[in-house]
Chains A and B, each alone.
Chain A
Amino acid sequence: MKTLADLKKIREKAQEDMKLRGGKVRIKIVVGMGTSGIAMGAREVMKTFLEEISNRNLTDVLVTQTGEKGLSSMEPVVDLIEEGKAKVTYGNMNPEKVKKVVVEHIVNGRIVSDYVVATGD
């Protein structure tokens, strides 16, 4: 990239990608991977998500990472974002809880309210 026009192109493309449009991605999993998150086991959580998703051949799920939101005491924190629905934030996650969230929330569409710490943004 060299010019302003190129930057604009990248911006438009990125904005489209981030909107979950195109029907390819139904649900986006965002794992908080800041220092506190990692210290509390966010890497394991992320790994478990990836394993569970590949075991179940879920092709419409995207796993990505982000920084800290401010909930150091509830790390690891995971957001589940679905088009047209309120964002759900799960806290104090671990591999066991991840497995349950994958089955209940991602596959069956039922929010696991016991693990929820916040909704919306």
Chain B
Amino acid sequence: MKFFRSHVLVGINETSLQAGVQDFIKALRNELAKQNLQEEINVLETGPLGFFGRGVCLSVFPENVNYQDVKVEDVPELVEEHFLKGRPLSRLQLDSAGKFTPKFNYDKRIVLRNSGIIDPESIDEYIGAGGYEALEKALLQMKPADIIAEVKKSGLKGRGGAGFPTGVKWSFTAPLDAPQKYIVVNADEGEPGTFKDRLIMEGDPHQLLEGIMIAARAVGATKAWIYIRGEYKLCIERLQKAIAQCKEYGLLGKNILESGFDLDIDIRIGAGAYVCGEETALIESLEGNRGNPRWKPPFPGVKGLWQAPTVVNNVETLANVPFIIKNGADVYLSYGSEGCPGTKVYTILGDVAHPGLCEVDMGTTLRTIINEYAGGMKKGFRFKAALVGGAAGVFLPEKMLDVQMDFPHLNEYAAVLGSGAILVLNEHQSVVDMLWSILKFFRHESCGKCAPCRNGCQQLYRLITKIKKGNGTMEDVDLMVSIAQTMFSTSFCALGQSPIMAVRSAVDHFKDEFIEITKK
């Protein structure tokens, strides 16, 4: 076979035929012969080239340069520049700058690697895509202690918000001698603007189930509950289907894969209380009580559901587990940043060109996420701030666009990583207005169990309403920060401890706006 140093692929389709591709090919071959390159460069006629341009399109390999709208009269210049001198002719190169090409980084995904590829309602497709291999390994080749050691080594941190190391959490529950232990999956995704768990559950429900099975094996639980938000009809439907398929295949029930391991998974539907995302309130709700948080300690890992040792994990956390067990902790450690391995799923909303979701390495900057995965800002708008993490989140100003998004780098703001919601505001949006709606939300969602949160949320709302109307003073702004700080120190659960993040970041980074509005 003759060796060509370069191959030119010419796309033959309706468009290029109309543009006279046959004449073009003739001219190209003649010109190559004239320059005595016909032995070095191969011209091939092919179908679609994998991109879409105007007129005659070419792909040149091995350098993978794409041209569009090339005419017969361009041939001498093209041959001389590109094939003789080796400089791509930028004048005709396919201009991809104007058009946003969505980026599917499937090779870099962990929890969403199957979403958008396999049929979520088919267990066979999940198995075909390598599913339940981790379960095999966990049940038949590994001891529970090995599983915990592997998860510890992987450095997986809880994706619910607090970022507590998952392996460590499991190791509290595993050694306890109890007649019954439980796994509870926190799928009560109530943070405004967040829908990453929804995507995981509806795109790949079996992955979550596999994660639950491995977690249950590791800590010795035989019953798992998925506490899911009631609005997630599609997730509930698909999870129910997935559980039924697992039972049919013997992956749930008694003596799974002849390993002597029993497990049953049930779904419980939440009624839309924000506080029930807090693990102890969630447990109360599961037990059939009013969703109020419990005193800690004892932590749920020791005394949780019906006083039995209970591991409460977020959906995304558990969805990471099969990957870690199947590929080993070392592979997992190659994802993400130092001190914070793995990936993170973000949902991007607001004034960006293409709102949606993405899964990127931990430590990716906000700028990269917005520009590469959401197509940048909406046309004609400038970036002002991003509310990261929903209501219990922080406002990040422009100067923080290049901060790495991981637990060590966001330090005091790290709690917002959990929800992964990114709400982008343009320069015309008011941070005061946003803060008002956040505090209104907190006032509505405070469960009322403890005084700092019950009264504090009310007062915060009163103050921000006053400021928003233009009747406030800078003293009111300071008072707001002080109340939120007191709530942070004295509230019973994470709900009352959260408003400080939004309040402080808004006042710190957008002080001018508060000064402006209080002057009126």
- Partner-contacting stretch, out of A44-52, A53-61, A94-102, A109-117: A109-117
Chain A's nearest CB lies how many Å from the CB of B226? 17
Q: Are B117 and A74 in contact (CB under 8 A)?
A: no
Query: Which B residues touch A107, using CB under 8 A?
Result: none
Q: Are B120 and A4 in contact (CB under 8 A)?
A: no
Q: Are B14 and A15 in contact (CB under 8 A)?
A: no
Q: With contacts A70-B116, A71-B356, A73-B356 known, is A4 near B104, CB below 8 A?
A: no
The CA-CA distance from A32 to B354 in the complex, in Å, is 17
- Partner-contacting stretch, out of B195-203, B321-329, B419-427: B195-203
Q: Are A70 and B358 in contact (CB under 8 A)?
A: yes
**CB within 8 Å of B: which residues of A?**
1-4, 6-7, 10-11, 13-15, 17-18, 30, 32, 34-35, 38, 64-74, 77, 79, 85-86, 89, 110-111, 113, 116-121
Query: Which A residues touch B13, using CB under 8 A?
Result: 110-111
Chain A's nearest CB lies how many Å from the CB of B77? 27
Q: Are A38 and B258 in contact (CB under 8 A)?
A: no
Chain A's nearest CB lies how many Å from the CB of B344? 13
Query: Which A residues touch B298, using CB under 8 A?
Result: none
Q: Are B120 and A71 in contact (CB under 8 A)?
A: no
The CA-CA distance from A38 to B203 in the complex, in Å, is 13
Query: Which B residues touch A32, using CB under 8 A?
Result: 116
The CA-CA distance from A60 to B256 in the complex, in Å, is 38
Q: Are A66 and B127 in contact (CB under 8 A)?
A: no
Specify the chain B residue showing the minimal Cβ separation from A89: B102
8 residue pairs from A and B, CB less than 8 Å apart: A35-B232, A69-B102, A70-B102, A71-B102, A74-B102, A79-B116, A86-B48, A111-B48
Q: Are A64 and B203 in contact (CB under 8 A)?
A: no
Chain A's nearest CB lies how many Å from the CB of B212? 18
The CA-CA distance from A74 to B114 in the complex, in Å, is 19
How many residues on chain B are close to A (CB under 8 Å)? 51
Q: Are B125 and A18 in contact (CB under 8 A)?
A: yes
Specify the chain B residue showing the minimal Cβ separation from A64: B119
The CA-CA distance from A35 to B236 in the complex, in Å, is 12
Specify the chain B residue showing the minimal Cβ separation from A111: B48
The CA-CA distance from A13 to B74 in the complex, in Å, is 52
Could you say which of B140, B202, B251 contacts A34, with CB atoms under 8 Å apart? B202
Q: Are A118 and B101 in contact (CB under 8 A)?
A: yes
Q: Are B203 and A68 in contact (CB under 8 A)?
A: yes
Specify the chain A residue showing the minimal Cβ separation from B200: A67
Q: With contacts A2-B258, A74-B354 known, is A13 near B102, CB below 8 A?
A: no
Could you say which of B115, B128, B140 contacts A68, with CB atoms under 8 Å apart? B115
In the assembled complex, B50 has its CB within 8 A of some CB on chain A: yes
Chain A's nearest CB lies how many Å from the CB of B345? 9
Q: Are A34 and B119 in contact (CB under 8 A)?
A: no
Hey, what's the 0/1 contact readout for B89-105 against A, CB within 8 Å counting as 1? 00000000000011010
Specify the chain B residue showing the minimal Cβ separation from A12: B128
Chain A's nearest CB lies how many Å from the CB of B476? 38
Query: Which A residues touch B359, using CB under 8 A?
Result: 70
Q: Are B102 and A117 in contact (CB under 8 A)?
A: yes
Query: Which A residues touch B120, using CB under 8 A?
Result: 65-67
Specify the chain B residue showing the minimal Cβ separation from A18: B128
Within 8 A of A (CB), among B255-278: 257-258
Q: Are A68 and B124 in contact (CB under 8 A)?
A: no
The CA-CA distance from A38 to B233 in the complex, in Å, is 12
Query: Which A residues touch B80, using CB under 8 A?
Result: none
The CA-CA distance from A70 to B347 in the complex, in Å, is 9
Query: Which A residues touch B251, using CB under 8 A?
Result: 1
